[in-house]
């Protein structure tokens, strides 16, 4: 799938509307094969983003877990460490 779509579940603080929108946009870009739609496809593209965003928000609101919430800063530090090991500097 798309590496730019981030895990948004079980974080403290919870995912923002902007993060959910960004993930929906990346998903629609990936499956449509276009970064920015032409004028003729713009409405369909924007409607798809809105529908995916709404579905993602509903999903995140309904998910239940017993695991403690993850810390954003700690997860970002782990990702930086993985990237350093993989790519160096």
Q: What is the pLDDT of residues 5-44, one digit of tens each?
A: 788 999 988 999 999 999 999 999 999 999 999 999 999 9
Backbone angles phi, psi at 72, to 5 degrees: -60, -45
Q: Quick check: 19 and 6 in contact, CB under 8 A?
A: yes
Q: Quick check: 5 and 20 in contact, CB under 8 A?
A: no
Q: Among 19, 9, 16, 23, which Cα is nearest to 65's?
A: 9
**Residues 35-77: pLDDT tens digits?**
999 999 999 999 999 999 999 999 999 999 999 999 988 988 9
Domain boundaries, the chain: 11-87
Q: Rounded to two decimals, what is the model's pTM?
A: 0.82
């Amino acid at each position: 799938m798309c590496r730019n779509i981030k895990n948004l579940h079980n974080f403290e603080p919870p995912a923002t509307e902007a993060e959910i929108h960004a993930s929906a946009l990346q998903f629609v870009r990936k499956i449509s094969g276009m970064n920015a739609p032409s004028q003729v496809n713009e409405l369909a593209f924007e409607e798809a983003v809105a529908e995916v965003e709404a579905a993602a928000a509903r999903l995140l609101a309904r998910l239940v877990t017993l695991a403690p919430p993850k810390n954003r800063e700690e997860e970002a530090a782990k990702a930086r460490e993985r990237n350093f090991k993989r790519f160096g500097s």
